Structure 1
């Protein structure tokens, strides 16, 4: 950065580096700059500055700054730090940028970025240095906060991985014994015992899937995991979810209904994490089935809603008032109610669903009417490319 002096000075003596008073930028120009600005001659004496520099940084009137050097306002050691950089700039030319801790006239401490360049007269001779200070204290604090957040995120990831390992080990042991028992490897089992053992295995596999999904949530920001995104047909996703929960629905005496297909979705796909999508629908359907009375009804549908696909799971449970619906979405909230909102610690399950939907650019909404039931809606961005649903892995 090199600036030629082409304006008229607003007062002050001539520059001692051989420049006349007409070579210094005017006060009007300097005051138009919001950041603190100063000009030194080649002897490192202040020749001009704006009020921001004189009053806010040095705590002096501007006239008391002109004609003096940095050591008159700061400690000798601090002055030498800045002036050594000034001398290097005069020797090497070009521009200079650096950051340093500062103490303002008010006593407040901060950090500033100094940007300096040579100032030349009309003949091209170097007559001094033009410097601009920009406070970067906020940027520094943001960087520190970002570093703390990254450290906390890394600690969270390590915790989840360790937790998953600690849970999976006994879980796999339990599933192995349950499978051995159901196969009669340690003796004959009755049909009822086999049914119970198969229930244990199903529950264990569901828990294993939940652990996997939780780890996926923890790594949503990891670019290396983007290969899990797949193009899915909305109606096929719903149909597959219904097939997965059909045994539970039959056992509970609850009717499962696949709503009529939306013709507008025929040539559209959703790009989602297939495993997360399966968990979302299965979680919502299982909750609705588990707490819908025998003879009740649970339905699922997919509809095009402008640029999003709305997946809806509805039950015929008792429903909740609006304030309870809002409360149920709080992390870990476990409240009383009916339908899918009545699951043990439902807020935990719905928080996972909500987090998964948000990670895929979507949202979760609940609509519950007391005495009529609850509808959970997960909206995800639609892919309007008519590519025949080609999948990528």
Structure 2
């Protein structure tokens, strides 16, 4: 009631009575409380929705949401509560947030198997529990008295993602409108949990895909429909472009490729976007080492569920190794064919030499040692012996005569020929010999090594008709897997090396490409 009191006085001004009028304001008060309650309900809903949409971690979201629910005074809740998150694989609830739980209760409720205690039963059955929990009922922690519970399952769609556990005073029934509001709060909690679990799963999936793409040795990139790079793997960023990924994303092909190549890439991109499906073509790419290499590019259009494109994904196959292997195969086939021909010719030639040497030896035996013809026969025998050595080399080249490799010191090979090499060089050429201090033992055929060294020195001499400098060096180095991959031969490990360098006119590229061809020479025949 609302009372209005008015004093009544006589003519002399004395108080004679008090007039009191009472107004029934029950309906007005109820209406005001209802409006206030609705405003508070909307504020709680809005607060929980804001928390659900904010970029908070799952633990922070659940803790702040639980604190907001428990702190609402007119819900009739005890200042205590908890939120559990579901671990489906383990079949249990994990305590994710709590408000004013006792230490023993925290320990007991850290993990609750499905079916145990009231929270576990709600998780197992999927139905809410509203009522009292007494000392005679099974519990993981004995609280020492009767208390009320509101335990609600948190469902994201059809999936159970958690359980909300709230406490009420014993003997106090839960108002239907309060329960309806709490169920709405539980729905908002479930949405927030589901959203964060989905975001976490998406991040894990993105991390998995990113790591998977980075482990692929082929360069991979992807662009949007404006042909702007949106991502790539390490092989593309480091091996092809030579820039960090952060400096590639957001740029187009004209920013990172030569203009003539960028125009080709743009035309191909627009064509595959127009036609859809996949695209494969051969072109050139400028790699990080500034070399242009022949490649095959595979592209595919990325489409949404409605079929509209949202980007392009592409992979680059470097053909350099393939082309180098093809060239090595062609060279090996050519060498094999020449070796077969050379072996046949050398074999027949060796038969002729054998007959010549035999007849010359017989003739020498029948001539007096002091005869002039005996010296001529000696010349014939010396010449045929040198021809036989040449035949031996030809047969070794054709693999019909095995070489005789043995451990030799590369420095000793050079020292053994040094005097002879100096005699074949004119005085206009300065000869410098720099040998490694270590013993450089290699497995090689001594005569072949001497022949190689002699040929290199004489070629250097012929390249400096006006004089110059010739240098012979030995040393030791190690080759790695990268060297083997780039050159197509060898085994990683330590190697000895012999270097012959001169200040001559050098060789053009087209001759360098043929220096290992059998019997190739630029000298007049």
TM-score over 0.5 (shorter chain): no
Question: Which TM-score applies when normalising by structure 2?
Answer: 0.27
**Greater relative CO, 1 or 2 (CA 8 Å, sep 6+):** 1
Give the TM-score, by structure 1 length: 0.34
Structure number having the greater strand percentage? 2
Structure with higher Rg: it is: 2
